[in-house]
Amino acid sequence: MNCTQDWLLDVGQTKTFEEFQEALKKCLEGGGKILAFGNGGSATEASHFVGEIVGKCKDDNGAWPAISLNDSPALLTCISNDWDFDYVFQRQLEALLAPIDFVIGFTTSGSSKNVINALNYSNQRGATTSLWTSKKCPPINLVGQYNIIAPTLETTLTQELHLLLIHVASLYLEDNIKR
């Protein structure tokens, strides 16, 4: 079996993902925005997801509000230098987050302090949260309301599954939100 097949056979994960998609739709229909972030390859996943939401995946169904918090080198270095890298995403959320928003953190290891801190902050503020990770993630760090967990310890396979699910979720939004 491969990572994608293993994930598809996990009824708990497929149910979580379906609920994630519905919550994402509800957020956007209710006037909320998507805030996504990660480090390294996970940062690229966050940027890619935001590109699909603001731009399009397949069909132009209008732009929906979404921001990737890892896309500004000036902000990342300012906050890291003046405060601490562990709070580089939380600090931005302090400026941008509203309780109706949806926050998505990507970390293949599940151990990125800045991602976990930002998700914890978002939970405290009443936002909806999702952690995208792998089997490497320590149980204590499963802090998202919707934890999408790749059934592998391999970073590359985790990121490949995440990319597939980003496209599935983006297509779901395009098919189910009409402007």
- 144-168 pLDDT, tens digit each: 999 999 999 999 999 999 999 999 9
Instruction: Please answer whether residues 107 and 131 qualify as being in contact, where contact means their C-beta atoms are separated by less than 8 angstroms.
Output: yes
Give 86's DSSP letter. Answer: G
For residue 8, tell me if it sits in a domain.
Answer: no
Residue 106 has pLDDT above 60, yes or no: yes
Q: Give residue-wise pLDDT tens across range 84-102.
A: 999 999 999 999 999 999 9
Average pLDDT over residues 29-53: 97
Q: Domain span at residue 62?
A: 13-174
For residue 127, tell me if it sits in a domain.
Answer: yes
Nearest residue to 123 (alpha-carbon basis) of 104, 95, 110: 104
For residue 158, tell me if it sits in a domain.
Answer: yes
Residue 117 has pLDDT above 80, yes or no: yes
Q: What pairing do the DSSP bridges indicate for beta strands 146-150 and 128-134?
A: parallel
For residue 148, tell me if it sits in a domain.
Answer: yes
Residue 25's DSSP bridge partners are: none
pLDDT band at 136 (very low <50, low <70, confident <90, very high): very high
Cα(146)–Cα(6) distance, integer angstroms: 18
Residue-level pLDDT at 9: 85
Residue-level pLDDT at 4: 76
Residue-level pLDDT at 118: 98
Residue 1 has pLDDT above 90, yes or no: no
Could you tell me the CATH number of the domain that includes residue 117? 3.40.50.10490
Total domain count, the chain: 1
pTM: 0.96
pLDDT band at 179 (very low <50, low <70, confident <90, very high): low
Residue-level pLDDT at 62: 87
Instruction: Please answer whether residues 74 and 102 qualify as being in contact, where contact means their C-beta atoms are separated by less than 8 angstroms.
Output: no
Average pLDDT of the chain to the nearest whole number: 95
Residue-level pLDDT at 8: 79
For residue 3, tell me if it sits in a domain.
Answer: no
For residue 147, tell me if it sits in a domain.
Answer: yes
Share of the chain above pLDDT 70, in %: 99
Helix (H) or strand (E) holding 9: helix 3-9
Average pLDDT over residues 65-86: 97
